[in-house]
Amino acid sequence: MNRKPIISVVTVVYNGSGIIEDTIKSVLNQTYERIEYIIIDGNSNDGTIDIIKKFDSSIQTIVSEPDKGIFDAMNKGLSKATGEWIIFMNAGDMFFNDQIVSEIFDRPLGQDVELIYGNVSLFDEDDVYEVSIKTNRIKINLNALCHQSVFIRRRLHPNFDLSYKLSADHNLIYDFVKRGKCKYVDLVVSRILMGGVSSDLPATRREKFRISMQKGKVDDKVWAYIFYGYGAMKDYTKRALLYVFPESLFHKIRSLKNRIEQS
């Protein structure tokens, strides 16, 4: 009987004293037994490290030192990992439930699978909604996968390219999807706190456009132009609505839209 693989879970945090404990508990409460947990702290000064130390007997690696940003810290976590698979669950983000890692890795996956991904639940103070993103070699130009819902074989996981400040995760996931050795599981893997590093949508969209233009074929570039134009139009429409209507009304409309889409 084959032994279940070790899953490396990496959490990156900087001054996250208000959110780090929920993330840690979501990892430590997993029913899957073969988890290696790594936390990379960017030399926080708000008490974050004191919270982490409360759980140090259950965390395999803790590093607290300055870094050059989130993807530099994620590279540090990657270098410490020893598991067969790796996932990044950064401060404020959580596994969707206590059984999700078991639900994924208790099933046959196939030796040729390089990347496993699932759905995501997005939340903030006002709203929660689930997003199902089943991608392929074309759709990856339109919608990025959320790295919090992505497991990658560690031996195949390259370092994050630090020239991308917002989309270094999408840059490497793009290559895996293009190779086609990915497996989609129709499960919500993670709960993501909205407002992270990629919440600057216009800047993130520009980086993703750049990735498609540099790495894609002709059809990829066509789709990238379409998506970029569509996204810019959405940004313009949003700014126009916020100019005319109160922001509170705009958020109510967005919440209603999300509920309708989920029904």
Per-residue tens of pLDDT for the chain, all 263 residues: 568 999 999 999 999 999 999 999 999 999 999 999 999 999 999 999 999 999 999 999 999 999 999 999 999 999 999 999 999 999 999 999 999 999 999 888 888 999 999 999 987 766 776 777 788 888 888 788 999 999 999 999 999 999 999 999 999 999 999 999 999 999 999 999 876 555 567 888 889 999 999 999 999 899 888 888 877 787 777 777 767 777 666 566 666 655 555 45
Contact 135, 170 (CB under 8 A): no
User: Exposure pattern of 177-210 as b/e (b: 16+ CB <10 Å)?
Assistant: bbeeebbbbeebbbbbbeebebeeeeebbbbbbb
Please give the Cα distance from 254 to 34 (Å, whole number).
Answer: 40
Q: 201: which 2 tokens?
A: 């949508």
Contact 19, 48 (CB under 8 A): no
pTM (global) more than 0.85: yes
Q: Where are the domains of the chain?
A: 7-197
Residue with token string 């233009």: 213
Which CATH number describes the domain made up of 7-197? 3.90.550.10
Report the C-alpha dihedral over residues 58, 59, 65, 70, rounded to 10 degrees: -130
φ/ψ of 127, rounded to 5, equals -150, 155
Q: What is the DSSP letter of 127?
A: -
